[in-house]
Structure 1
Amino acid sequence: MVAALDHRGPDDSGVVEYDGAVLGSSRLSIIDVKGGRQPLLDADRATALVCNGEIYGHRRLRSLLSDYPFVTGSDCEVILALYRRHGAALLDHLPGTFAFALWDERQRTLLLARDRFGERPLYWAMTSTGCLAFASETHALVSSGLVDNRPDPEMVAQMLRQGYVPTDRSIWQGVRSIPHASRLTWICAPLRRSNGGGRRPNPTTPEMPTRRSSGSARRSTTPWSTSSTPMFRSAHFSRAASIRRRSPCSPPAIIEDCERSPSTCPVRRRSPTRPVADRHGIDLHVYRPELHGVADRIRSLGRSWDEPFGDSSALPTSMLCEFAREHVKVVLTGDGADELLGGYVVWNRDLLETPTDDRSPMSTASKRFARLRMRAARPPAVDRSRIARRYATFRQYFDADQLGSLGLPPLDAARVDVSAYHYGTADDISRFDLDHYLPGDILVKTDRASMARGLEVRAPFLDVDVATGCLALPSHHKVDATHEKVLLRRAFGDQWPAAVRDRPKQGFGAPMSDWLELPEVARLKADHLVDPASALFELVDHDAVQPFVGANDQRTWNLLMLAVWWEQHRRRAPSRQCA
């Protein structure tokens, strides 16, 4: 199982065994490269830890835990110290991005936990012998032969419908994901799972948000200066808080910079980061990918990703991570800024005025999305619970009848519980995205694309202090009549040229329909979506797929990604059909 995760940790590996527990780790060495080898043990070897991620502010935490006999410089060792002091409640005191497993030999318990937003993955399964197995990716569990390795028909349907598997499940029947901000305790007896690791927002006053969030965002980048390796900043974060006037060191910045023509670049995006880099003396590396080889890259996603994934921006994200890893080992991204700072409202209002491809089911869905966003931003005058219910289902590509024709469970459109968002306000919609879309799509994409190449990603906007401050603010502090992310523009606008400060939001999109029409991808579709011998038809009905092959929309893409994924992973699963 450890060897199956070598791509996530190519620098080192280790295993520790107890009577009743075995912990293993593949490590990407960032902090205390030589001394921070995992599993980490306390002084009497009674507690062992494996952790993926980074604990922010670990030096400050060490000073507060001076009674603990630290033996390494690893940031993760503070988890052992916090556990000694607080037990499982340590999650209330633990900042950063992490997924960890901690074995307590005295108590004979295993604690599994994930960070507040789900930046790092963690899966678990019960074996046929009644043991609990866990891993950062599902294929490590499935390929072990210890767990049920049949695809789950309901999760196949979910992936096709929304493009990703729900955050508490996996594509496999016998494997579950620990939800973000949650912990699972195994006591050599029945499982106990509970929410944990999340601070509730603190009240704040209207006059404080800009100054407070600016300070928090700057503090959240301090791990950058304590790392033993160089870093770069992505275009998103360069446009936001990570470029500071007085930075303790000067890492390179690497972005993707493309013309809009699909004949020259597979990503319709042109970044304004160059003037920001020039102003702050950042060493800018520009990546201009070519269009050829798209079919091979689609196949590579099927090989390297442990679950099928329908977000087409996964392909350019993977390309950028591949390029970045040639230069650096750690990157900073702007993930979470849209959800926390109102980055979608104005952008999706603009979607109503932008011509869209009538062949795409998302042409209508995008318009519905924008209308819901605008209604949610208005004073209450309608049944807002209806807005919440509709928003929860807007990003759906296959309806119940289409899923049923494919031979899959038709799914209940109301499966998602919207009771926590029943007011249907802009704040509710942002929280819905934080609970579902961010951990299910955005953070999965970032994690798999980066870790497939041994690249560490950090998202300072998801630092607990930044996020708590942002969540405490109502939406009118974040969006006005002309701009999204108003708070961010005010906090850091003096560091950006006017052309950047006043620029409207531009998403990290991909010309999916153009890709699907390429001759090389057309051949890939024929092999995987048309040929009756394709492995895909072990999962779905052949005849029902054919109407979607020529649509070249999100439904086609989701089916193709499911097909190339299953072609690669079915060999790891002797039971080759959904059951």
Structure 2
Amino acid sequence: MCGIAGIVGPGAERQQAALDRMLAALEHRGPDEGGRWSGPSALLGIRRLSIVDPVGGHQPVVDAEAGVVVVANGEVYGHDRIRARFPDFPYRSGSDIEVVPALHRAHGDGFLAALPGTFALALWEAGPGRLTLARDRFGERPLYWAHRPDGLLLFASEPQALRASGLVEVEVDRAVVAQQLRQGYVPPGRSIWQGISSLPPASSLRFEVGGQPLLERWWSPPEVVEPAGGVGDPVAWFRTALDRAVQDQLVADVPVGTLLSGGLDSSTVSALAARHHRRIAGFAFDMPGDSEVPYAQAVADRHGIDLHVLRPSPDDLVDLLQDVARTWGEPLGDSSTVPTLLLSRFVRREVTVALTGDGADELLGGYLCWARPFLHPDDPARAAAGGSAPAPSRWWARGSRARRTGGRSVPAGTEVARRYADFRSYFSAAELVGLGLPPASGADVDVSGYGYGTADDISRFDLDHYLPGDILVKTDRASMATGLEVRAPFLDVEVAEGCLRLPARWKVDASHEKLLLREAFGDLLPPQVVARPKQGFGSPMARWLAEPAVADLVRAELTDPGAPLFDLLDRAAVAPYLATPDQRLWNLLTLALWWRHHRPGAGGGTAVGPQP
């Protein structure tokens, strides 16, 4: 992975100092080397973490004959197969990114549909003076941009780099602050800053010098296909597709390992990786009082994986919280950011690339076990029973039939997503107003693309919102802070599209989620791993909040009249939330710490510079 940045527009080539500042702000993402290209109306730069062809794979990649220049953060999986399709392209190295201009030559503006892998890229066409920014299908790699009134367009992998340019004037967006507190993360496609935009997943932005940016969606999730996703035998298809994805993502010219929590997803990826990589290293986090290490060890023993276990000390928790606040360009209330950052540091000591199980929950119904209170709002016993009740499988799988028959009141289509957004909220609209913020609610969420049936709508909502807004942001920022590249085989385009086409009955029943994964790969895993219920990679948040040092931090950030947070929120309205060590208090604390480090004048950006 890398950090990319650039400036395009009238006189952009005169903004070398601004690009210097942007790249300096991204050095943690690419500690190995830097590169830049300058031409009329365009500056493109990169900080590179060298993974494929470390010696020859420099960026920017220039196709001089076509007048095309590319900088990209990410990996093109299976790039050797693409090279074989275009043997006449003048390749100069073994870099995977060189296939991007090759695909652009072949497909023109449609090249993104033919591009597999994970990426955030910028492609400059010198002839027409046109920039294309694009982001991968699920938002694994970040990309932000800003358009100035004088016609300059700037882009970067993180918002801090845009602020560091000295060319972008920002102020906090209070409506987004409300949404972030409400759900714990900044919504995909939004930014915490007015004046900076986040490019949404599966989207492109085209900009011609002298014109206006045009935002387009270049990919959409496929619809459900009956009877079995159009693949004949879903189990056989899944075994082949995921195994191929893991093989593709093991390709690197640096050491590779896996994040092995002991859960079903990471255990499957690790078992498949061990098939193709002799004595691969696996990495586990031993959470005191909630350890999954015995499960991870069982997988490691079965497949000859060299397991490394991190056993953290709580003594440096306050320092870690401050590190997270400094590292994340936008606030994130997910308490697992702390163990994720710790684990990334630990893993990077041994390997440069790590495969993970991210994406399996959203594609295979993994979160539906937590959604039962949403599905049973008037039946606490059934909601608490979890998998013991037979009814949920009927509701989840029957979809539009339930709506036609007018049976039990299960919300349909877009209403499922809207109500589910409220169900996953930590603050009500009224509580946000009380804090002095706009009244964010489920009504603010774009739910126009739903209507497949309750199970599929919930999973697709998490795929569109929670995965790119929380999970992938957490993984990207933590790994990039340490020079580690994390790859997610479940988000391989063939695997993901195939899973999305499958009806819900292939994924969940009354007592289990991720049925397809258990059926396809259960024989590779120890029985106790296959049978165990869902357990997220979380943290003992309540216990952490009770730690004396953290309690002191809470008092300093959430009660001191001079605390920066009260630039944003009403101090008296914050006070009632201090009594309960829950997610709402954690969200307030992480927002306070982030604002302390990134508010204007705090060092998170620089003053607005002169006009070009």
More displaced 10-residue stretch of structure 1: 22-31 or 474-483: 474-483
Q: What secondary structure does 1:292 align onto?
A: helix
Q: Is the 8 A contact 1:351 1:367 kept in 2?
A: no
Q: What is the aligned counterpart of 2:96 among 52, 65, 75? A: 75
Note if 1:308 corresponds to 2:316.
no
Shift of 1:420: 2.2
Q: What is the aligned counterpart of 2:362 among 328, 332, 339? A: 339
Q: Deviations over 1:402-437 (max 9, x none)?
A: 211222112344111323224542011111111111
More displaced 10-residue stretch of structure 1: 395-404 or 428-437: 395-404
Q: What is the aligned counterpart of 1:208 among 233, 241, 249? A: 233
Note if 1:404 corresponds to 2:433.
yes
C-alpha separation in 2, matches of 1:63 and 1:526: 61
Quick one: structure 1 residues 369 and 89, their matched pair in 2 at CA, closer, same or farther if it must change by over 3 Å?
farther
Q: Deviations over 1:448-488 (max 9, x none)?
A: 11111111010000000000111111111112333221111
Q: Which TM-score applies when normalising by structure 1? A: 0.91
Q: Is the 8 A contact 2:362 2:459 kept in 1?
A: yes
**Match for residue 277 of structure 1?**
300
Shift of 1:550: 2.5
Q: What is the aligned counterpart of 1:24 among 45, 54, 77? A: 45
Matches within 5 A, 1:337-416: 337-346=360-369, 348-349=371-372, 376-377=395-396, 379=398, 380=402, 381=407, 382-385=409-412, 386-416=415-445
C-alpha separation in 2, matches of 1:351 and 1:158: 20
Q: Deviations over 1:254-303 (max 9, x none)?
A: 1113342xxxxxx6644501111111111111111122221111111111
Quick one: structure 1 residues 216 and 232, their matched pair in 2 at CA, closer, same or farther if it must change by over 3 Å?
same
Matches within 5 A, 1:53-202: 53-188=74-209, 189-198=211-220, 200=222
Quick one: structure 1 residues 258 and 538, their matched pair in 2 at CA, closer, same or farther if it must change by over 3 Å?
closer
More displaced 10-residue stretch of structure 1: 230-239 or 145-154: 230-239
Matches within 5 A, 1:215-226: 215-226=240-251
Q: What is the aligned counterpart of 2:461 among 432, 437, 446? A: 432
C-alpha separation in 1, matches of 2:161 and 2:48: 15
C-alpha separation in 1, matches of 2:117 and 2:157: 17
Q: What is the aligned counterpart of 1:529 among 554, 558, 561? A: 558
C-alpha separation in 1, matches of 2:335 and 2:178: 18
Q: What secondary structure does 2:70 align onto?
A: strand
Quick one: structure 1 residues 535 and 368, their matched pair in 2 at CA, closer, same or farther if it must change by over 3 Å?
farther
Shift of 1:247: 1.4
- Normalized per residue, the structure richer in helix is 2
Shift of 1:205: 4.3
C-alpha separation in 2, matches of 1:568 and 1:490: 47
Shift of 1:392: 2.1
C-alpha separation in 1, matches of 2:172 and 2:386: 31
Q: Is the 8 A contact 1:52 1:100 kept in 2?
A: yes
**Match for residue 280 of structure 2?**
251
Q: What is the aligned counterpart of 2:518 among 480, 489, 494? A: 489
Q: Which amino acid aligns with 2:585?
A: T
Gaps of 5+ in 1: 261-266, 354-362
C-alpha separation in 2, matches of 1:96 and 1:115: 7
Quick one: structure 1 residues 476 and 271, their matched pair in 2 at CA, closer, same or farther if it must change by over 3 Å?
farther
- Between the two proteins, the alignment pairs up a number of residues equal to 560
Q: What is the aligned counterpart of 1:288 among 311, 315, 323? A: 311
Shift of 1:517: 1.0
Quick one: structure 1 residues 44 and 367, their matched pair in 2 at CA, closer, same or farther if it must change by over 3 Å?
farther
**Match for residue 58 of structure 2?**
37
Q: Is the 8 A contact 1:124 1:133 kept in 2?
A: yes
Quick one: structure 1 residues 369 and 246, their matched pair in 2 at CA, closer, same or farther if it must change by over 3 Å?
closer
Quick one: structure 1 residues 534 and 147, their matched pair in 2 at CA, closer, same or farther if it must change by over 3 Å?
same
Quick one: structure 1 residues 6 and 14, their matched pair in 2 at CA, closer, same or farther if it must change by over 3 Å?
same
Shift of 1:13: 0.6
Q: Which amino acid aligns with 1:195?
A: R
Q: Which amino acid aligns with 1:498?
A: P
Q: Which TM-score applies when normalising by structure 2? A: 0.87
Shift of 1:137: 0.4
C-alpha separation in 2, matches of 1:423 and 1:222: 32
Q: Which amino acid aligns with 1:499?
A: Q
More displaced 10-residue stretch of structure 1: 126-135 or 16-25: 126-135
Q: Deviations over 1:83-104 (max 9, x none)?
A: 1111221111011000000111
Shift of 1:375: 7.7
What is the Cα-based RMSD across aligned positions, in Å?
A: 2.6
Q: Is the 8 A contact 1:201 1:469 kept in 2?
A: no
Note if 1:517 corresponds to 2:536.
no
Q: What secondary structure does 1:76 align onto?
A: helix
**Match for residue 12 of structure 2?**
none
Note if 1:323 corresponds to 2:346.
yes
Q: Is the 8 A contact 1:348 1:369 kept in 2?
A: no
C-alpha separation in 2, matches of 1:269 and 1:277: 13
Q: What secondary structure does 1:194 align onto?
A: strand
C-alpha separation in 1, matches of 2:95 and 2:329: 28
Note if 1:52 corresponds to 2:73.
yes
Q: What secondary structure does 2:124 align onto?
A: strand
C-alpha separation in 2, matches of 1:159 and 1:329: 31
Q: Deviations over 1:351-409 (max 9, x none)?
A: 999xxxxxxxxx99x97999997684164123532443311211111112221122211
Q: Is the 8 A contact 2:557 2:593 kept in 1?
A: yes
Shift of 1:554: 1.2
Among all aligned residue pairs of Structure 1 and Structure 2, give the percentage whose two residues are the same amino acid. Answer: 50
Shift of 1:249: 3.6
Q: What secondary structure does 2:444 align onto?
A: coil
More displaced 10-residue stretch of structure 1: 271-280 or 439-448: 271-280
Q: Which amino acid aligns with 2:269?
A: A
Q: What secondary structure does 1:384 align onto?
A: coil
**Match for residue 257 of structure 2?**
232
**Match for residue 568 of structure 1?**
597
Quick one: structure 1 residues 24 and 575, their matched pair in 2 at CA, closer, same or farther if it must change by over 3 Å?
closer
Q: Deviations over 1:488-510 (max 9, x none)?
A: 11211111121222222211121
C-alpha separation in 1, matches of 2:250 and 2:140: 21
C-alpha separation in 1, matches of 2:195 and 2:395: 39
Quick one: structure 1 residues 424 and 476, their matched pair in 2 at CA, closer, same or farther if it must change by over 3 Å?
closer
Quick one: structure 1 residues 375 and 483, their matched pair in 2 at CA, closer, same or farther if it must change by over 3 Å?
closer
